[in-house]
Amino acid sequence: MSARDIGISFGNNRVLESVSFDLHKGETLGVIGPNGAGKTVLLNILTGILRPAHGEVFLDGIEITKKGITERTMMGLGRTFQIPRSFENMTAYENTLVGAVFGKDITERAAEERAHEVLDIIGLSGKKRVFAGKLGLLDRKRLEIGIALAGGPSVLLLDEAAGGLTESETMEVLEIVGSVKASGVGVIWIEHVLQTMLHGTERILLLAEGRDLLCGPPQEVMGSKEVERVYLGAGGIGAGRRAKQARQAQ
C-alpha cells in the first residue's frame, strides 16, 4: 500500500497537508504523532471513510482513492478501530464468520474454515462460543483483529490495538501482529504504546504539522530530537520521558 501527497481539511482546519508513504509486503509501519495530528483521519482516508481533498491512495499497485469501503475490503484491506466494534450478542466464532463472509466472495464452507483458522491465530479457539459482549478487553482486542483478518487482507490497519492493555497483554498483541506479518500481510499500526512501536515495527512514520516529518527505524525515530520537539511543542504529556526511554533502548 502507498499514499502520495494526501491532504484534507475540515472547514478552516487543515488536518493533513501532504502525507506520503510506502508499505512493503510483510512489513509493519508504525505511525506516531501527538493528539490531533490526524492519525485516525489518515486511516479513515485509507479505508474510504473519508475522501482526501488531494492526493492518491494505492493498494497492491492499483489506485483506490475514489473506491468505496466495501470495494476496498474486497480488494484486500482490513481495519480495526480504537473501540472494538464486534457484535456483542454474537459469539467470537460468529463475529469472525461475518468478517470472512463480507470480506471476500467465498463459499460458506470456506468462510467457516477461515473463521476457525483466524480464531487459532488470535488465540480465541477456546472461547469461540463466548458472546463478544462477555469477553474482557484483551479478548475483545483480539477479536477485533480477528474480524479484520477473516477477510484475508493483504494490508491490515490497526488503530490502537494495544490501547488500555497491561504490559503483558500488550506482548500478546505483539505476538498476534508478528504472526500476521509472517504470513506476508502488511500492517500499518497507529499506537501510543512505546513498547509496540519499538518492538513491533520495522519503520516508524512521525505524523505532525500535517506532514510525514520523519520515517525510519523505530529506535532512530523514537530517539530523535524531532519527536521530542513535536510532542513537547504540542503539549504532549511525558514526551521528554518517552524520548529518553527510546534513546536508552538503543
Domain boundary assignment for the chain: 2-76+154-249, 90-152
Q: Which of 45, 158, 146 is nearest to 103 (CA)?
A: 146
Report d(CA 200, CA 213) in Å as an integer.
Answer: 21
- What value does the mean pLDDT take over residues 168-180? 97
Least confident range of 159-163, 199-203, 243-247: 243-247
Tell me the DSSP string of 104-155: S---HHHHHHHHHHHHHHHT-GGGTTSBGGGS-HHHHHHHHHHHHHHT--SE
pLDDT digits (tens, 9 = 90+) for 44-84: 999 999 999 999 999 999 999 999 999 999 999 999 999 99
Report d(CA 86, CA 98) in Å as an integer.
Answer: 10
Per the CB < 8 A criterion, the answer to whether 82 and 160 are in contact is yes
Residue 235 clears pLDDT 60, i.e. is over it: no
Please give the CATH number for the structural domain made up of 2-76+154-249.
Answer: 3.40.50.300
pLDDT confidence of residue 249: 46
Helix or strand or coil: residue 86? coil
Q: Whole-model pTM?
A: 0.92
Strand partners, 70: none
Instruction: Round the average pLDDT of the chain to a whole number and report it.
Output: 92
Which runs of consecutive H residues, i.e. helices, occur in the chain?
A: 39-47, 69-75, 92-103, 108-122, 137-150, 167-182, 194-199, 218-222, 225-233, 239-249
Please give the grid coordinates belonging to residue 41. 483521519
Cβ neighbours of residue 152 under 8 Å, at least 6 residues apart?
Answer: 76, 100, 103, 104, 114
